[in-house]
C-alpha cells in the first residue's frame, strides 16, 4: 500500500475471487459459472449493430430490461433494480440500509463479500453461527433489530431455508430490512419473490451469473417494495447512473425472454448434481444437501487443502476455503456430465489405496 492510502482502509482485507486462469488448460469447477453458453437469443441480441451503438450511453433507467424482468417475475418495473452483478446491488443495499449505528447480521459461514463490504463501509457486523450441521436456525434471526442478509441457498454450504422460514424472520423484524441473496435459487430452492407484495422489509437479490450463463456480462436484479427500490436508486444515481452497459442490458432482456433455454439448462445442472452426488457418496464423501449449482463435500481419505492441490495438478480446479469450520471441505461447481466424469476419475486415481 502507498503512504497515501487513507488509514481507515489500512486494515481492510479484500475479497479473494476464485482463480480465473486465462488459458483453457483447466476443467473449471471453482467459481459456480455455468458450463453452458448463453441462450442463442443472447448471441443474436448482442450483434454488430449494437456494438456500433456503444458510442452512446446506456439507458440509466434500464427500461427495456426492467419491463422483461417485471413480466418474468410478476412485479412492476419500480419494484426492480438492475445492478452490475448482484454484488453491486448487495453493496448498494448495505450502503442504503446499514451504517455505523445500524449493523448487519449474517452467518459465520456464508458469502465472503458481506463482511468485506462491512469493513469497507465501517458497518459493524453481527455474526450468527450456523448450527453444527451448517443449517440456519431461523429463530436466531428473530427480533434482532439489525439489517439482515441471508444467502438462500447459502454459500458455500448449498443448504436452503424454506420461504416460510424466511417469512417468519420477516415478521419478527418488521423495522429492519431482510436481504435474501438468491444467487442459487434457480437450482431447486423456493424463492421469496412471491412474498414481496406482503412484506415491505424484504429485498430479494438475484443474479444472471449462475443460472443464466452471464457471469461475464455482470448483471443482477434487486427486487422489493417500490420504496426500497427507490432507496437503492438513490445510491446508484449518486454513484454511477450508467452502471449497466448497453450489451448487458440486451443480453439480460434476451435471457429473460428465452424461458425454454433457462429451464432446460438449470434442469441439466440439477440432474448432473444428482449424478455427481451419488458418485461421491459411493466413494465415501460426506455431502451437504446442496440446492445450488455446486456440491460441498469432504472425505476422511484426504485433507481438504491437499485434495484441492492434487486435483489442480490433474487439471481440475475446485474451490477450497482455508477458513474455520470448512477447511476440510471442497466446493465443487457442477459442470457438464463429461466434466463431472473426469472429476470422478481423477478422485479415483488420487484416493485409491
Ligand atoms: C456469485 C454470488 C454473488 C455474486 O454474483 P454476481 O451477480 O456475479 O455479482 C452474490 N452472492 C452469492 C451468494 C454468490 O454466490
Distance, in Å, from the CA atom of 143 to the CA atom of 162, rounded to the nearest integer, reads 19
52-63 pLDDT, tens digit each: 999 999 999 999
291-305 b/e (C-beta count within 10 Å ≥ 16 → b) = bbbbbbbbbeebebe
Predicted confidence at residue 203, as pLDDT, reads 99
- Angle (CA) 64-68-73 rounded to 5° is 145
238-288 pLDDT, tens digit each: 999 999 999 999 999 999 999 999 999 999 999 999 999 999 999 999 999
Mean pLDDT of the chain: 97
Residue 22: band (very low, low, confident or very high) from pLDDT cuts 50, 70, 90: confident
Non-local CB neighbours of 218 within 8 Å, separated by 6+ positions: 84, 85, 88, 209, 244, 248
Predicted confidence at residue 202, as pLDDT, reads 98
* Residue 89 near residue 222, CB atoms below 8 Å: yes
Regarding the beta carbon of 31 and ligand 1, being less than 6 Å apart is answered no
Residue 299: band (very low, low, confident or very high) from pLDDT cuts 50, 70, 90: very high
Strand duo 80-83 + 125-128: pairing = unpaired
Minimum CA distance residue for ligand 1 atom 11 = 183
Percent of the chain surpassing pLDDT 90: 96
Regarding the beta carbon of 207 and ligand 1, being less than 6 Å apart is answered yes
Q: Which three cell numbers stand for residue 86?
A: 448482484
Non-local CB neighbours of 327 within 8 Å, separated by 6+ positions: 304, 305, 320, 321
303 has pLDDT over 90:
yes
Element spanning 81, H or E: strand 80-83
Predicted confidence at residue 353, as pLDDT, reads 59
Overall pTM > 0.95: yes
Residue of 24 and 41 predicted with greater confidence:
41
Q: Cis peptide leading into 153, omega within 30 of 0?
A: yes
94-128 b/e (C-beta count within 10 Å ≥ 16 → b) = bbbbbeeeebbbbbebbbbbbbbbbebeebebeeb
Taking the centre of ligand 1 as the mean of its atom positions, its distance from the CA of residue 257, in whole angstroms, is 22
114-141 pLDDT, tens digit each: 999 999 999 999 999 999 999 999 999 9
Minimum CA distance residue for ligand 1 atom 2 = 183
19 has pLDDT over 90:
no
Cell 465472503, located at residue:
112
Predicted confidence at residue 25, as pLDDT, reads 87
Taking the centre of ligand 1 as the mean of its atom positions, its distance from the CA of residue 49, in whole angstroms, is 31
Predicted confidence at residue 261, as pLDDT, reads 98
Cell 451503438, located at residue:
53
Q: What distances in angstroms separate CA 13 from CA 18, 96, 101, 115, 119, one per listed residue?
A: 15, 22, 22, 10, 8
Distance, in Å, from the CA atom of 93 to the CA atom of 158, rounded to the nearest integer, reads 23
169-218 pLDDT, tens digit each: 999 999 999 999 999 999 999 999 999 999 999 999 999 999 999 999 99
Longest CA pairwise span in the chain (Å): 62
Residue 352: band (very low, low, confident or very high) from pLDDT cuts 50, 70, 90: confident
In a mutational test of the pocket of ligand 1, which residue from 89, 91, 106, 111 has the highest number of ligand atoms less than 8 Å from its CB? Answer: 111
Mean pLDDT value across residues 324-346 = 98
Taking the centre of ligand 1 as the mean of its atom positions, its distance from the CA of residue 228, in whole angstroms, is 20
Query: Residue 264 — left, alpha, or beta (φ > 0 → left; ψ -120 to 50 → alpha)?
Result: alpha
Regarding the beta carbon of 183 and ligand 1, being less than 6 Å apart is answered yes
Distance, in Å, from the CA atom of 220 to the CA atom of 217, rounded to the nearest integer, reads 10
Taking the centre of ligand 1 as the mean of its atom positions, its distance from the CA of residue 54, in whole angstroms, is 26
Rounded to 10 deg, the angle between the 259-282 and 337-351 helix axes is 20
Strand duo 220-224 + 80-83: pairing = antiparallel
Mean pLDDT value across residues 223-231 = 98
Mean pLDDT value across residues 78-99 = 98
Amino acid at each position: 500500500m502507498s503512504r497515501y492510502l487513507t488509514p481507515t482502509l489500512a486494515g481492510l482485507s479484500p475479497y479473494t475471487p476464485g482463480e480465473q486462469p486465462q488459458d483453457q488448460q483447466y476443467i473449471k469447477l471453482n467459481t459456480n459459472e455455468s458450463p453452458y453458453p448463453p441462450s442463442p437469443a443472447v448471441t443474436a441480441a448482442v450483434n454488430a449493430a449494437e456494438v456500433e451503438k456503444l458510442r452512446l450511453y446506456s439507458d440509466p433507467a434500464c427500461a427495456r430490461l426492467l419491463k422483461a424482468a417485471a413480466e418474468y417475475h410478476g412485479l412492476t418495473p419500480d419494484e426492480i433494480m438492475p445492478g452490475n452483478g448482484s454484488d453491486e446491488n448487495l453493496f448498494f443495499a448495505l450502503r442504503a440500509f446499514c451504517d455505523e449505528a445500524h449493523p448487519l447480521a449474517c452467518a459465520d459461514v456464508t458469502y465472503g463479500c458481506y463482511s468485506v463490504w462491512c469493513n469497507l463501509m465501517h458497518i459493524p457486523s453481527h455474526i450468527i453461527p450456523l448450527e453444527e450441521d451448517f443449517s440456519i436456525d431461523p429463530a436466531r434471526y428473530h427480533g434482532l433489530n439489525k439489517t439482515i442478509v441471508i444467502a438462500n441457498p447459502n454459500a458455500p454450504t448449498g443448504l436452503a431455508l424454506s420461504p416460510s422460514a424466511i417469512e417468519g424472520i420477516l415478521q419478527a423484524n418488521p423495522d429492519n430490512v431482510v436481504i435474501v441473496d438468491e444467487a442459487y435459487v434457480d437450482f431447486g430452492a423456493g424463492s421469496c419473490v412471491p412474498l414481496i407484495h406482503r412484506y415491505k422489509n424484504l429485498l430479494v437479490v438475484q443474479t444472471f451469473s449462475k443460472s443464466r450463463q452471464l457471469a461475464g456480462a455482470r448483471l443482477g436484479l434487486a427486487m422489493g417494495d417500490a420504496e426500497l427500490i427507490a432507496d437503492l436508486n438513490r445510491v446508484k444515481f449518486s454513484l454511477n447512473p450508467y452502471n449497466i452497459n448497453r450489451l448487458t442490458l440486451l443480453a439480460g432482456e434476451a435471457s429473460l425472454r428465452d424461458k425454454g433455454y433457462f429451464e432446460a439448462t438449470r434442469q441439466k445442472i440439477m440432474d448432473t448434481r444428482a449424478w455427481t452426488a451419488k458418485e461421491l457418496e459411493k466413494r465415501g464423501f460426506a455431502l451437504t444437501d446442496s440446492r445450488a449449482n455446486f456440491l460441498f463435500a469432504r472425505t476422511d481419505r484426504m485433507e481438504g487443502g491437499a485434495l484441492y492441490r492434487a486435483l489442480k495438478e490433474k487439471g481440475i480446479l475446485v474451490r477450497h476455503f482455508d477458513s474455520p469450520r470448512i477447511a476440510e471441505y471442497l466446493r465443487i461447481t457442477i459442470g457438464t456430465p463429461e466434466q463431472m466424469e473426469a472429476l470422478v476419475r481423477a478422485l479415483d486415481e488420487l484416493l485409491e489405496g
